[in-house]
Structure 1
Amino acid sequence: MTSNEHTTNADDVYVLGVDYGTTTVRCQVFDRHSSVVGSSRQKVELHCPQQDTIELLPDTVWTQFTTVVKKAIADAGISVNNIACMGISVQRATFTLWNRHTDEHYCNFISWNDTRAEPFANNINQSLSFKGLGTGAKLLHILTRQQRWEAASSFHFQSQHAIIRLAWILNTNAEIKKEAKAGNVLFGTLETWLVWKLTGGKVHATEPSNICSTVLYDVFKKDWNSIHINYFGIPFSILPKLNDTSDDFGCCDKEIFGGPIPIRACVGDQQAAMFGQCCFEEGDIKVTMGTGTFINLNTGSYPCVPNVGTYPLVGWKIGSEVAYTTEAFDSDSGTVLTWLENAGFISNPGESQEAATEVKSSNGLCFIPAFTGLQSGINDNTACCCLINITPTIKREHIVRAALESLAFRVVQIFNTLESKTKIKINDTIKFDGGVSNSDFVLQLVSSLVNKKVDRPDNLDMSCLGAAFLAGLKAGVWKSKEELKEVRKTKNMFKPKADVQVDYKPIFKQWGKAVKRSMNWNESV
């Protein structure tokens, strides 16, 4: 929805929600009723000069961020003076280093999916010193029975962890390490650097939902992870101030947007989507289906121990309230639709629904969505993407239907893992968002197989809305989370169908057998 569909009011106030995601940077302007009155988006520009290197250029990040904000405000046809505040949502664990005095960068943004530090991580995991930390954690867990030590006893570093990429840089670049020890270097994930730039270098801050994804933060003690920070010799002086998620992050310099827009929230993209979906209570769950699938379960005021590819994160911190989430991830959902399109089975993602429903079943065909392995619930990065049980009667429509079924099956598989491992009673309605959630076929199948209602909102860009909600709460645009529930809008509600449950029980079981055939395939991974 844009300004062409809404009438803006010169006396009203508006909230900006900006999301710098992995594939898209977008800004949406919301009114008090959470309606989108203006928006703008761009595809995120990556810098990949060599294999395993995935970076963002700081100048490009700044240009794209400020451009979408300016265009969204213009699209809304409002004055900057009517903007109450801004909330910023970002892809997590992507970071940079810069000089606190000159603003010059020591490196580009190193993306969360950059894998150059993977050999370094493997060496650390195999080192005697790190194994000693694990043994110590096991002993402390035996003595104290604290979840913190149980989690630490089985922890291993991965290249996705910002702390390992930061340690790798300091270990391989003597000049940066020297500058860091001299107190000249600042560390920041995307939101921290954006706030620094927007405020003209006045604010160097982060918050728990973002920093907890870096492993620099300990979700169990709600503070810096001093054990691993000291293990790698990372100077505390480079780290930002810890704010709440909904907090005062300063004001944008008036020269940037034509007025001093207050920044009143920063948040990780998946936690932002969770907040936008109003998953405020223990047992609330949301599923974001974009390029990959992220499933977040609200675990209340306590984090859960990592299990079968699920991991605990801070959902948000607002004053004394700290909400936790257990997150699960699968890398392939939107990528499956892209493959169907590139392979010529569909001409666009929207056509998949029609093709899938032109046949009554997938005719025994099983599709395994594992272009980059199978993550949460299985944890096999060597698994391969495959079609199993191809017969002479298989048609294009069967392949499309099997592919869509597989997306629903993976959600169900991960849902069952979360339900069994966390021991938390999941509430009756699952909230869906993200582009793939446009598929009625997928959502109806999930609803029937997990025997829960599925709620699809009218705005699938929930990260923008969640960032706006968090900022608006701090600025007083909305008074409470109960008021947020009232303004969040449901577009469609899917309810379980008994006949679908009966028909798909053997199909889901057979698909599970096919998954096992796909595992342990790419042995070199």
Structure 2
Amino acid sequence: MSKQGILSIDQGTTSSRAIVFALNGQQVSNMQQEFTQHYPANGWVEHDPEEIWKTTLESSKTALEQASKKGVSVACIGITNQRETTLVWNKQTGKAIYPAIVWQDRRTAQYCESIKKQEEFVRAKTGLLLDPYFSATKVKWILDEVEGARHLASQGKLAFGTVDSFLIWRLTDGKSHVTDASNASRTNLFNIHTQQWDAELLELFDIPANMLPEVLDCADDFGITSKRVLGQSLPISGVAGDQQAALVGQSCFKAGDLKSTYGTGCFALLNTGEEAVMSSHKLLTTVGYRLNGVTSYALEGAIFTAGANIQWLRDGIHVLDHAKQSQVLAESLDYDHGVFLVPGFAGLGAPHWNPNARASLFGMTRGTGPAHFARAALEAVCYQTHELLNAMENDGISSSAVWVDGGMVANDWLCQFLADILQIEVQRPKIMESTALGAAYLAGLQEGLYKDLDDIASHKAVDRTFSPELGEPTRARLLKKWHLAVEATLAFAE
């Protein structure tokens, strides 16, 4: 008798991957394909929608084939995706009318500045700030700049979606134009209190309502895959933006539970339960997940580049041959090495929210080399996480531990330094693919493969706990220098 499994499609910023999980959370098969990053102008970041689709489809087919060979029968599909990244496509052809504008893209910074007086109005409805990061200004840009787009939109011929919507449209052969509440909550068009697309926000950004997908719960019926497309008909039963999926994958189901994911960027989400806590320190209020019509909210802090810092060292300035080298290099230096990197490659996120900030290096000497770059890049992520947790504490919610995941946390040195700087325990789970796992859990929940959230939480297992070891004088000195480096970076951005 074949065992049951769930296909999780994890469409990320730098790669598309597909993982088949057994119901206990163990990986059965895994396929990943990287795709091209396009930087057509300063601060612009784009992806080719066809490359997103091709890498997703090929990865999914391979993972399904591998699972089948191991006697695992896939019951359903969960999808998780890079959030905010924006696509507009023609409903008749299914083709995008412009490349995908990536969440890191800053092209609408000037427009955001021009309507800054509307920020409190937008924030009260969406929990978000007015920033190029979110989808609304990206959609507006496409409609304004692509010839004929506004005319097609007025005729109801265009569809907008984040990556999940685009993939579901393609997988179902154009039958489903849907998204989930977590992705919708990242657009600046969705009222997180009424859980509806907001007419006043659509008017502000000049976006026709007929372009928008239907918003469903995170565990719901999103459509059935077309046999012509995927080779088999499977229900798509769970969807969540990547950071919310990680919250589910880490079983952070109680108010006060905190997870921090270290992928291309870093995102810390703190579950606040059924209360949408509005931050006084520029954190975002967002939908954590919505199940059976009940919304659990989260406070979120975003760091725009984390793993991308290491990618830059490897691909941009070639001081690393591969990412894993960063741990060995970091370990070779002492705490007083003196170099600080403020990684404003795509502006600075929470709690600064400065789209004009650019990366800066401080403290270099003639003796500065690859080890200093690697260590400073890793340390920066920890200092920035400290800023996020500090903001959460100032908003009145603190945590005694943080659950970490994402590619970077395979690095033991990073996890230990993180515990030292945060002064709380850092818990690393046995299954590090929390994002993909969360999407699988949501799909399994919808299909009755899991009874409830307690059933899902029963599978959680710790790989290692990192406890603070660094002396307070050293920690305080490092943080003081970090804050000086950030101040100088922000001053330069002005």
Q: Same fold (TM over 0.5)?
A: yes
Residue 191 (1) aligns with residue 182 (2): no
1:248-304, Cα deviation, whole Å (9 max, x unpaired): 112111233332111001111111111111111111111111222111111211222
Residue 463 (1) aligns with residue 435 (2): yes
1:461-487, Cα deviation, whole Å (9 max, x unpaired): 322111101101111122121122222
Q: Note closer, same or farther for the CA distance 1:387–1:169 as it changes in structure 2 (3 Å cut).
A: closer
- Of 453-462 and 330-339, deviating more is 330-339
The residue type paired with residue 411 of structure 1 is T
Structure 2 residue aligned with 1:148:
124
Structure 1 residue 198 displacement after superposition:
1.4
Structure 2 residue aligned with 1:58:
49
Structure 1 residue 318 displacement after superposition:
0.6
Q: Distance in 2 between matches of 1:113 and 1:192?
A: 19
1:209-230, Cα deviation, whole Å (9 max, x unpaired): 1111111101122211221112
What SS does structure 1 have at the residue aligned with 2:156? Answer: coil
Q: Note closer, same or farther for the CA distance 1:380–1:177 as it changes in structure 2 (3 Å cut).
A: closer
Residue 476 (1) aligns with residue 452 (2): no
**Residue from 431, 450, 455 that aligns with 2:422:** 450
- The count of residues paired between Structure 1 and Structure 2 equals 493
Aligned 8 A contact 1:382 1:520 in 2: no
Q: Note closer, same or farther for the CA distance 1:306–1:226 as it changes in structure 2 (3 Å cut).
A: farther
Residue 324 (1) aligns with residue 315 (2): no
Structure 2 residue aligned with 1:252:
225
Q: Distance in 2 between matches of 1:77 and 1:84?
A: 12
Residue 216 (1) aligns with residue 189 (2): yes
Residue 521 (1) aligns with residue 492 (2): yes
- Of 33-42 and 226-235, deviating more is 226-235
**Residue from 345, 367, 388 that aligns with 2:362:** 388
Q: Give matches, 1:106-125, under 5 Å.
A: 106-123=97-114, 125=115
Structure 1 residue 343 displacement after superposition:
4.8
Residue 487 (1) aligns with residue 456 (2): no
Aligned 8 A contact 1:308 1:379 in 2: no
The residue type paired with residue 40 of structure 1 is M
Q: Note closer, same or farther for the CA distance 1:462–1:221 as it changes in structure 2 (3 Å cut).
A: same
The residue type paired with residue 320 of structure 1 is G
1:182-225, Cα deviation, whole Å (9 max, x unpaired): 33332222211221221222221111111111111011222112
Q: Distance in 2 between matches of 1:347 and 1:390?
A: 22
1:35-65, Cα deviation, whole Å (9 max, x unpaired): 0010000113345556665433333332211
Q: Distance in 2 between matches of 1:350 and 1:372?
A: 23
Q: Distance in 2 between matches of 1:30 and 1:173?
A: 41
Structure 1 residue aligned with 2:31:
40
The residue type paired with residue 265 of structure 1 is G
Aligned 8 A contact 1:92 1:189 in 2: yes
Structure 1 residue 323 displacement after superposition:
1.1
Aligned 8 A contact 1:15 1:29 in 2: yes
Question: How many percent identity over aligned positions?
Answer: 29
Structure 1 residue aligned with 2:406:
434
Aligned 8 A contact 2:428 2:462 in 1: yes
Q: Note closer, same or farther for the CA distance 1:283–1:503 as it changes in structure 2 (3 Å cut).
A: same
Structure 1 residue 80 displacement after superposition:
9.6
Q: Note closer, same or farther for the CA distance 1:202–1:411 as it changes in structure 2 (3 Å cut).
A: same
Q: Note closer, same or farther for the CA distance 1:396–1:267 as it changes in structure 2 (3 Å cut).
A: closer
Aligned 8 A contact 1:25 1:64 in 2: yes
1:75-99, Cα deviation, whole Å (9 max, x unpaired): 3344898211000011112233334
Aligned 8 A contact 1:380 1:520 in 2: no
Q: Note closer, same or farther for the CA distance 1:339–1:164 as it changes in structure 2 (3 Å cut).
A: closer
**Residue from 401, 405, 428 that aligns with 2:379:** 405
Aligned 8 A contact 2:17 2:33 in 1: yes
**Residue from 314, 335, 348 that aligns with 2:322:** 348
Q: Distance in 2 between matches of 1:506 and 1:120?
A: 39
Structure 1 residue aligned with 2:242:
269
Aligned 8 A contact 1:275 1:469 in 2: yes
Q: Distance in 1 between matches of 2:218 and 2:362?
A: 46
What SS does structure 2 have at the residue aligned with 1:252? Answer: coil
Structure 1 residue 102 displacement after superposition:
4.4
Aligned 8 A contact 2:86 2:138 in 1: no
- Of 215-224 and 181-190, deviating more is 181-190
Aligned 8 A contact 1:80 1:261 in 2: no
Q: Distance in 2 between matches of 1:329 and 1:354?
A: 27
Q: Distance in 2 between matches of 1:395 and 1:180?
A: 53
Q: Distance in 2 between matches of 1:118 and 1:80?
A: 51
Q: Distance in 2 between matches of 1:104 and 1:359?
A: 51
Aligned 8 A contact 1:81 1:259 in 2: no
Structure 1 residue 401 displacement after superposition:
3.6
Aligned 8 A contact 2:5 2:72 in 1: no
Structure 1 residue 451 displacement after superposition:
2.8
Structure 2 residue aligned with 1:417:
391
What SS does structure 2 have at the residue aligned with 1:370? Answer: coil
What SS does structure 2 have at the residue aligned with 1:505? Answer: helix
Aligned 8 A contact 1:362 1:401 in 2: no
Q: Note closer, same or farther for the CA distance 1:199–1:81 as it changes in structure 2 (3 Å cut).
A: farther
Q: Distance in 1 between matches of 2:355 and 2:137?
A: 20
What SS does structure 2 have at the residue aligned with 1:82? Answer: strand
Structure 1 residue 379 displacement after superposition:
3.4
Aligned 8 A contact 2:169 2:175 in 1: yes
Aligned 8 A contact 1:449 1:501 in 2: no
Residue 93 (1) aligns with residue 57 (2): no
Aligned 8 A contact 2:386 2:421 in 1: yes
Aligned 8 A contact 2:119 2:130 in 1: no
- What is the root-mean-square deviation of aligned Cα atoms in Å? 2.9
Aligned 8 A contact 2:392 2:398 in 1: no
Residue 237 (1) aligns with residue 199 (2): no
Q: Distance in 2 between matches of 1:122 and 1:187?
A: 24
The residue type paired with residue 61 of structure 1 is I
Aligned 8 A contact 1:433 1:457 in 2: yes
- TM-score w.r.t. the length of structure 2 is 0.90
Q: Distance in 2 between matches of 1:354 and 1:167?
A: 46
Compare CA radii of gyration and give the structure with the larger one: 1
Q: Distance in 2 between matches of 1:336 and 1:32?
A: 35
